[in-house]
Amino acid sequence: MSSAARKKVGVLISGRGSNLQALLAAGAEPDFPAEIVLVVSSKPDAQGLARAARAGVATRVVPRRDFARREDCDAAMTAALEEAGVELVCMAGFMRLLSAAFVAHWRDRLINVHPSLLPLFPGLDTHARALAAGVKLHGCTVHFVRLEMDSGPIVGQAAVPVLPGDTEDALAARVLAAEHRLYPHCLRLVAGGRVKVVDEMAAIAEPGADAGARILNPAP
């Protein structure tokens, strides 16, 4: 696929960037419909910045403390993203609430990965809460971002079993591995124009696919 036909993607991070790495790897594939052109971090010491640098991707650091208002910080992020020609934005471990103006500006062009099967367990400590609830399946969700935290039309989900004797760390590692598969797959769908938001639900063009009994849904 020619670079001109690929969607330009910006990734927002705050930490180690393991999901960023999965997106970078996918973007390096010649047939992937998106390329990562900018990584924006809320923290100057985020490990994900080094991952981006190794991949030859431009980076920017936009700390909240440098701005009087959250809206001003988010406006600076939007300016950096648009200067780089970004068309889609992925949140990958971005640990800061976004302003209403930012969410509205990037509406239906901003996606996030969350470590639970939404609408179950929004917010923090999802793995501990899943274990405490006694659920038999846990997982992750990629969704379009809305102002309410961890809400918005769901693009895809991946489920993992909760095993007898699971610890929070063991379950978290299993879910993270699923995130690394799901997020690039969902970005492929969105960047490839196969997802349309209709009545606050993500409709996916998936010709010939059987939606029965999947662990990764939609299936690759």
Residues whose CB is less than 8 angstroms from the CB of residue 12 and which lie 6 or more positions away in sequence, other chains included: 40, 41, 42, 77, 89, 90, 91, 92, 94
Digit-coded pLDDT (tens) for 2-53:
566 899 999 999 999 999 999 999 999 999 999 999 999 999 999 999 999 9
pLDDT of residue 1: 65
The domain total for the chain is 1
Residue with tokens 């990958």: 92
Question: Is 114 considered catalytic here?
Answer: yes
Considering only CA atoms, which of 216, 119, 115, 113 is closest in space to residue 159? 216
What is the band of 207 on the pLDDT scale with cuts at 50, 70, 90? low
Show the domain range for 126.
3-217
| Domain of residue 186, CATH code | 3.40.50.170
Q: Does residue 211 carry a pLDDT above 50? A: no
Query: Which of 114, 127, 138, 180 is the catalytic position?
Result: 114
